[in-house]
Structure 1
Amino acid sequence: MEPNDLFFRLNRLNYHHLYHFWWVGRLGNLTRAADQLHVAQSAVSTHVHRLESALGQTLFDRQGRALQLTEAGRVAMRHAEEIFQSGAELVGLLSEGKEGRTRDVHVGAVSTLSRNFQEAFLSPLIGSSDVNMTLSSGRLDDLLKALENHSLDLILSNTAVTPGAAGIRSCQEIARQVGSIVGPPRLMETSSRVSDIDGVPLLLPGRSSGFRASFDLYCRRMGVTPVIVAEVDDMAMLRLLARDSNFAAVLPKVVVKDELRSGMLVEYGELPDVYEYFYAITEKRRYDKPVILELLRQLDDVHLHQSMRASE
């Protein structure tokens, strides 16, 4: 874009109008926004209309008295927040000597997902001085709703979601790890392959997980029936039970990488064709946050796969 074109477009963007839009977007109501700004409702409405005209986009869906942000409105809202945050930082820098410019990124993780895997995948953000990351955990259905509402930028999941459903653009496999039987030293014989677990007491993942379904299929194929000590949906809890009980557990090694490294637990053997899959879920949007694109771009290099191998 030529400098003159950029100046013309910025000159059309009235920051006073943007500020009024920001208040309406926060409150979802013209009257309440006008009360906060101590101006007439008609003035706020006029400023929002003028901003929409300047941007060439409809920013609100008007549903009676309620105003819902459109996709363009949510993008404008996010940038407005960053603009006003930058203004506050400028004032803080010049008046108090404090500085800091951060990019916000909101990640959701399915509550049953390995914490060790989350740490490995998100390490580029955790170590970045210019990224303010929030990480929330919950049920996949709830996280998908938050993603659709633009409250989340990315979901990490161990369950696949059909691409295209509910506006979802991509459910990308980002890693997988073969399952193993692990437990206290000297509890079982160690081997390169566990082929006979018939009657062996085991701690297992919950039946709702794809990993558990893969393990059950393996048992049927091998004609074995393990003794189920407990079934645990939460991988963090399964990790604690594997560490503190006197039973072996079936899980991906990334979950207990620290215990394996220290010798607190040992691997008795891998389970062929029993995999835990890890997915990154993003929504179809016209405007993607660069920080999310940067994070997903790591899948083209060896960072994550090295992190996974380090746990083996």
Structure 2
Amino acid sequence: MMEKLQDLNFLHLFYFWMVVRHGSITAACERLHLTQPTISTQIRKLEKSLGHELFSRTGRELELTEVGQSVFEYAEDMFAVGRELLGALRGVPSKRALRLHVGVPMVMPKWITYRLLEPILHFPQPLQILCHEAPLDILIADLMRHKYDVILSDTPVPSSKRVRSYSHLLGSCGVTLCASRELASRLQRRFPQSMDGAPMLLPAANTELRRLIDRWLDDTGLSPRVIAEINDSALLQVFGQGGAGVFPIPTAVLPEVKRQFDVEEVGQLNDLQLNFYAITLQRKLTHPAVVAISAAAKDDLLTFTTA
């Protein structure tokens, strides 16, 4: 395995980068006007020099290995700088974009993720957001390897995880139950008693929103008829839009959900509180975009209620 920078063949790395970007060796060959054996040979040489396989081969399909994914991400940065260099030599003014690598648990409500990131879409300096969804355990492990600048989550890092990370509270909001217009109109008048026996759509059991709903049902003694448990918040709302049942959402995004899915509020559960966190490796937030996310959230983003 190489140990010196001068041993790294940047042309081989470029060919690898082109294959990943275009999805196949064949597509890369068409762009580069090279033969398939040429590209394949150069990638094998790169793998040998790095001491790692970059692709796992299943039949004729190529998939990036974990090392391959990491190498590709570095190559993305390197060749982005290369493009800026060429632009500068042509006299094109260039200001390098700040990058924010964001990890988001797969169970995180999509609208909340957008609302948290929305303020930095108009960041005062060029900013590129790289957002990746995965289970929280995997995200935390990758955070420890400095793959992410921040994880946006509705739960802090579990105390059982002996990792040196910090969960910064961004804000909180209540929970609202929504349903299609027809179903909501039947349930609103006698809410919450009307929920007893009512059709309901629940988030997956491993989510904070589900834990809160289960606690509310236990406290009230209500027994809705569970139609489905769905771990994707957007799919849950689509089922609700179709009239399949009542579904819970964070109150902070009630206007957006009502508008997008043409649903109505059944009732609010403001005694329940969803918290949202920015998980980082630093005790104090340092990345300017994460600082901006935190400031916007604490100002007014997650305090929405409709009393």
TM-score (norm. length: structure 2): 0.67
Partner of 1:167: 163
Following TM superposition, by how much is the alpha carbon of 1:206 offset from its aligned partner in structure 2, in angstroms? Answer: 1.4
Following TM superposition, by how much is the alpha carbon of 1:168 offset from its aligned partner in structure 2, in angstroms? Answer: 3.3
Following TM superposition, by how much is the alpha carbon of 1:242 offset from its aligned partner in structure 2, in angstroms? Answer: 0.9
Deviations 1:14-35 (A, max 9, x none): xxxxxxxxxxxxxx8405x342
1:153 aligns with 2:149: yes
- Kept in 2, the 8 Å contact 1:162–1:171? The answer is no
In percent, how many aligned pairs have the same letter? 24
Matches within 5 A, 1:195-210: 195-210=193-208
Partner of 2:7: 35
CA spacing shift, 1:224–1:120, aligned 2, 3 Å: same
Match for 2:117: what amino acid? Answer: L
Match of residue 139, structure 2, among 127, 138, 143: 143
CA spacing shift, 1:276–1:191, aligned 2, 3 Å: farther
Tell me the SS of whatever aligns to 1:309.
coil
User: Following the alignment from structure 2 to structure 1, what is the Cα–Cα distance between the partners of residues 173 and 285?
Assistant: 32
CA spacing shift, 1:241–1:300, aligned 2, 3 Å: closer
Match for 1:284: what amino acid? Answer: Q
- Kept in 2, the 8 Å contact 1:202–1:247? The answer is yes
Following TM superposition, by how much is the alpha carbon of 1:263 offset from its aligned partner in structure 2, in angstroms? Answer: 8.0
Partner of 2:94: 99
Tell me the SS of whatever aligns to 2:197.
coil
Partner of 2:109: 114
Matches within 5 A, 1:51-70: none
CA spacing shift, 1:132–1:199, aligned 2, 3 Å: same
Give unpaired runs (5+ residues) of structure 1: 1-27, 39-64, 67-77
User: Following the alignment from structure 1 to structure 2, what is the Cα–Cα distance between the partners of residues 206 and 226?
Assistant: 16
Following TM superposition, by how much is the alpha carbon of 1:299 offset from its aligned partner in structure 2, in angstroms? Answer: 4.2
- Kept in 1, the 8 Å contact 2:199–2:245? The answer is yes
User: Following the alignment from structure 2 to structure 1, what is the Cα–Cα distance between the partners of residues 147 and 7?
Assistant: 26
- Kept in 2, the 8 Å contact 1:179–1:253? The answer is yes
CA spacing shift, 1:311–1:242, aligned 2, 3 Å: farther
Give unpaired runs (5+ residues) of structure 2: 11-49, 52-72
CA spacing shift, 1:285–1:87, aligned 2, 3 Å: farther
Match for 1:95: what amino acid? Answer: R
User: Following the alignment from structure 1 to structure 2, what is the Cα–Cα distance between the partners of residues 262 and 133?
Assistant: 24
- Kept in 2, the 8 Å contact 1:205–1:251? The answer is no
User: Following the alignment from structure 1 to structure 2, what is the Cα–Cα distance between the partners of residues 93 and 156?
Assistant: 36
- Kept in 1, the 8 Å contact 2:209–2:274? The answer is yes
Tell me the SS of whatever aligns to 1:240.
helix
Match for 2:153: what amino acid? Answer: S
- Kept in 2, the 8 Å contact 1:194–1:270? The answer is no
Match of residue 250, structure 2, among 249, 252, 259: 252
Tell me the SS of whatever aligns to 2:156.
coil
Following TM superposition, by how much is the alpha carbon of 1:285 offset from its aligned partner in structure 2, in angstroms? Answer: 7.4
- How many residue pairs align between the two structures? 243
User: Following the alignment from structure 1 to structure 2, what is the Cα–Cα distance between the partners of residues 241 and 115?
Assistant: 15
Partner of 1:269: 267
User: Following the alignment from structure 1 to structure 2, what is the Cα–Cα distance between the partners of residues 310 and 94?
Assistant: 53
TM-score (norm. length: structure 1): 0.66
User: Following the alignment from structure 1 to structure 2, what is the Cα–Cα distance between the partners of residues 86 and 35?
Assistant: 20
User: Following the alignment from structure 1 to structure 2, what is the Cα–Cα distance between the partners of residues 127 and 35?
Assistant: 41
Tell me the SS of whatever aligns to 1:301.
helix
Following TM superposition, by how much is the alpha carbon of 1:292 offset from its aligned partner in structure 2, in angstroms? Answer: 2.7
- Kept in 2, the 8 Å contact 1:243–1:259? The answer is no
Partner of 2:70: none
Following TM superposition, by how much is the alpha carbon of 1:220 offset from its aligned partner in structure 2, in angstroms? Answer: 1.6
- Kept in 1, the 8 Å contact 2:258–2:264? The answer is yes
